[in-house]
Amino acid sequence: MSTFQAPKGTYDLIPPDSAKFLAVREAIAAPLRNSGYGYIETPGFENVELFARGVGESTDIVTKEMYAFETKGGDQLALRPEGTASVLRAALEANLHKAGNLPVKLWYSGSYYRYERPQKGRYRHFSQVGAEAIGAEDPALDAELIILADQAYRSLGLREFRILLNSLGDKECRPVYRAALQDFLHGLDLDEETLRRADINPLRVLDDKRPDVQKQLTEAPLLRDYLCDACKAYHEEVRELITAAGVAFEDDPRLVRGLDYYTRTTFEFVHDGLGSQSAVGGGGRYDGLSEMIGGPALPSVGWALGVDRTVLALEAEGVELELPSTTSVFAVPLGDEARRLLFAKVTELRKVGIAADFSYGHKGLKGAMKNANRSGARYTVVAGERDLADGVVQLKDMESGDQTAVGVNEIVAELESRLG
């Protein structure tokens, strides 16, 4: 071990497990790429004010979890705790919304940072793949995103996840509900901080995980009973479209999310094999966010799926991903001349797209064959002085154990045909 260790709440992705993370990222991205979403990458840090305004001053993310810092130049920055505010900021900055091409559909993948109490499934550095559809109010768009996330999880082989769905209303009906909820909350036995939260953002209190708080909330008014006609119709249409697509969901009238900017459609993906960190992803509509960060009115919807927790969910269900083998051919040279020849052959194999590796470090046959075995290669090519004198190399099938001599000039073509 070196003097240093990964910082608290973080972990390294190391082969072979790291291949699972790549596969999960890829599986989540594939349906998006296939549905008109373009890839966007934004910086790992932003002006702290973007998150304060965009995520919400009263959220845990902003008040407790943000890595905020001042640069040597005096800028107030923060490591990004989530993706939506950054993506919208970038889209506005590039005037994507003015190209007459709404909605702007974007997907992203990257690292996010939250100063949280580390536990299984909850880290200070984690990874998300997300999607945002900016600038259209259309229930089909909300439905599309939910369907694509479902497709992503299913393509990975996940079965034990559930989709929770709710509507948080809009600027017509939410204020009425908000007032009713506030009235209700002020009649409860809550601590100072929670009462303060009830004043600033009462919906967030519904999301309080503490049992003594939850116990008092059973009789809380539900937004469902306050939705205006437009929100009701919108929500009904989302439900119908998802149902028609054969995607199962559960209505959860108590579902609120940790971010302030959600309106109308709100959803969460939970996996029952994960214990307390059961949310593998979530999202919803955020019609007011653009204006909150100084942009025009741009009704939008999006989600973010956690890669770390998706990997844990796969493990919980015992799903083994079919990962492509990393090495198909392993070359074992015995002697300097064979070394030069096989090194050239490995380069040739790689050029034609065959994953090939080489025994480095001047190993003897026994040690080199150990490496060949460990590499998982289907074929090993061995060559010693005698083989070279005969103009051949030995091609060994690692599954059957069969070994055949193949002409030096034929070996690449032979491997191409055998590996299909």
CB closer to ligand ATP, 121 vs 139: 121
Binders of ligand ATP in range 344-403 (CB under 6 A) = none
Q: How far is the CB of 44 from ligand ATP (least distance, A)?
A: 16
Residues of span 8-37 touching ligand ATP by CB under 6 A: none
Q: Is residue 297 within 8 Å of 291, Cβ to Cβ?
A: yes
CB of 65 to ligand ATP, least distance (A): 8
Strand partners, 128: 110, 306
Strand-pair partners of 332: 382
Q: Which of 103, 135, 202, 306 binds ligand ATP (CB under 6 A)?
A: 306
From residue 77 to residue 96, the character string flagging contacts with ligand ATP as x (rule: CB under 6 A) and all else as - is: -----x--------------
Q: How far apart are CA 159 and CA 420, in angstroms?
A: 33
Q: Is 122 in the site for ligand ATP (CB under 6 A)?
A: yes
**Residue 293: CB minimum distance to ligand ATP, A:** 17
Distance in Å, CB of 340 to ligand ATP, minimum: 49
Q: How far apart are CA 278 and CA 121, in angstroms?
A: 8
Nearer to ligand ATP, 258 or 335 (CB): 258
Residues 77, 163, 165, 280: which binds ligand ATP (CB under 6 A)? 280
Distance CA 331, CA 393 (A): 10
- Which window, 45-53, 276-284, 315-323, 349-357, contacts ligand ATP (CB under 6 A)? 276-284
Given 89, 114, 264, 345, the residue binding ligand ATP (CB under 6 A): 114
- 12-45 per-residue burial string, b: 16 or more CB within 10 A, e: under 16: eeeeeeeebeebbbebbbebbeebebeebebeeb
What part of residues 199-218 is at the interface with ligand ATP (CB under 6 A)? none
Torsion angle in degrees (nearest 10) through CA of 20, 23, 25, 31: -150
Return the residues of window 254-273 that contact ligand ATP according to CB under 6 A: 257-258
Nearer to ligand ATP, 226 or 303 (CB): 303
Which of 84, 86, 109, 128 contacts ligand ATP by CB under 6 A? 128
Over the Cα atoms of the chain, what is R_g?
27
282 binds ligand ATP (CB under 6 A): yes
**Least CB distance to ligand ATP at residue 71 (A):** 24
Pick between residue 37 and residue 161 the one whose CB is nearest to ligand ATP: 161
Minimum gap (Å) between residue 201 Cβ and ligand ATP: 14
| Candidate segments 133-141, 175-183, 300-308, 391-399, binder of ligand ATP by CB under 6 A | 300-308
Tokens 């810092």 belong to which residue? 69
Q: Bridge partners of 39?
A: 107
Inter-CA distances, 190 with 184, 208, 217, 259, Å: 11, 11, 11, 22
Give CA–CA dist 345/364, Å, rounded.
19
Listed in sequence order, the residues at least 6 apart from 15 whose beta carbon sits closer than 8 Å to its beta carbon are none
Q: How is 236-253 classified by DSSP, letter by letter?
A: HHHHHHHHHTT---EE-T
Which residues contact ligand ATP by CB under 6 A?
Answer: 82, 114, 116, 121-123, 126, 128, 257-258, 277, 279-282, 304, 306, 308-309
